[in-house]
Amino acid sequence: MYYINKILMLKILVLLTIFSCFTGSVNAAETSTITFAPSAEVVDPDQPFTVSISIDPSVPINGVQFDLQFTPSLVSATEVTEGNLLSQNGANTIFNRGTINNDAGTVTNVYGFILGATSVSSPGVFADIGLTAGSTTGTATLSLSNVIISDADANAVPYTISTSDGSGSININVGPDNTAPTANPYDTNQDYIIQIGEMLNAISDWKTGNLPMGDMMTIIGYWKSGQPYC
């Protein structure tokens, strides 16, 4: 009995040593890279933008899932669309767009996988997240969680998240709207001040029926004020 137990313990130690070596080699050499990048890092208020989730597989893979968190007071999510990562070899895929909760600032349960035994090993975009900036200025933070990349045997593949600053999350600056206001059609030099000649042009068009009286009176008011009208 003593010798049997000794042999059994030796086998267990050998198996543990092999497993330890295997785990270490996966972490060191088989780490996939997720690139988490926005279409723009500065967005005007109320403007749409896109965040792409790209993956460079370290081994052949056939499935991905993730959740997204964002600052709901500054941005809102509008849609999730599948990229070309899993279908790049013509494979059939199933893609779940997830659940958007703009009150909580989350997009949860986004996943996709290849039907059948096919796998992919070339980099590509897994998903594009459509978002819209709010009317409040500030810095919105976006991050990923619950990420799983699976290989052809449904085993989880180690990964790292690559961002511009190496933090694993990205910041979107929602800045002021710098779009210039539209000048009045009679403001020929577009300086937002109506000069006397520009006012007389408006009166002339009113006399010929080409300008409503209300619009003419507005232009006269701009001229009288001598100040920028916007």
Residue 14 has pLDDT above 80, yes or no: no
Chain position carrying tokens 């009288």: 224
User: Which of 39-43, 74-78, 87-91, 148-152 comes out lowest in average pLDDT?
Assistant: 39-43
Closest CA to 73 of 13, 23, 16, 137: 137
pLDDT, averaged across the chain = 83
Question: pLDDT tens digits, residue range 181-193?
Answer: 788 999 998 888 9
Question: pLDDT tens digits, residue range 22-76?
Answer: 333 334 357 999 998 887 778 888 899 999 999 999 999 999 999 999 999 999 9
- For domain 31-174, give the CATH number: 2.60.40.680
Spans of all domains in the chain: 1-30, 31-174, 182-230
pLDDT of residue 17: 32
- Cα dihedral: 59, 144, 115, 29 (round 10): 10
Residue 94 has pLDDT above 60, yes or no: yes
Residue 173 pLDDT grade (very low, low, confident, very high; cuts 50, 70, 90): confident
Residue 10 pLDDT grade (very low, low, confident, very high; cuts 50, 70, 90): very low
